[in-house]
């Protein structure tokens, strides 16, 4: 049974999302490094250190975004993208039936 949505468009959208996440990786790594350095400030109260640890934990969650992108890709029915690409080669024509 054919799907009603565009597997090809979804795949391209995930490529774009993944590209943005990859671009963010460098900035997030820098933020982690700066937060780690902040934890080394002399006489830092424990409640502040705890918040910095929480911040570092939140920054680590970018891996969840990558996992979610992969889950979306795996949800695309097998062969749907190729079928859509093949159909696009011949252009769109309305069925006579």
Is 5 inside a domain boundary? no
- For 35-64, what is each residue's pLDDT tens digit? 999 999 999 999 999 999 999 999 988 889
Is 8 inside a domain boundary? no
Is 34 inside a domain boundary? yes
Residue with tokens 């097998």: 78
Is 30 inside a domain boundary? yes
pTM across the whole model: 0.74
Is 85 inside a domain boundary? no
- For 13-28, what is each residue's pLDDT tens digit? 999 999 999 999 999 9
Q: Which two tokens stand for residue 44?
A: 């830092």
Is 35 inside a domain boundary? yes
């Amino acid at each position: 049974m054919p799907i009603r949505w565009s597997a090809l468009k979804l795949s391209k959208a995930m490529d774009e999302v993944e590209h943005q996440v990859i671009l963010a990786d460098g900035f997030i790594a820098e933020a982690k490094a700066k937060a780690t350095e902040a934890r080394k400030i002399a006489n830092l109260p424990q409640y502040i250190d705890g918040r910095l640890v929480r911040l570092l934990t939140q920054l680590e969650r970018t891996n969840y975004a990558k996992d979610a992108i992969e889950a979306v890709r795996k949800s695309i029915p097998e062969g749907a993208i190729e079928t859509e690409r093949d159909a696009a080669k011949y252009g769109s024509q309305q069925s006579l039936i």
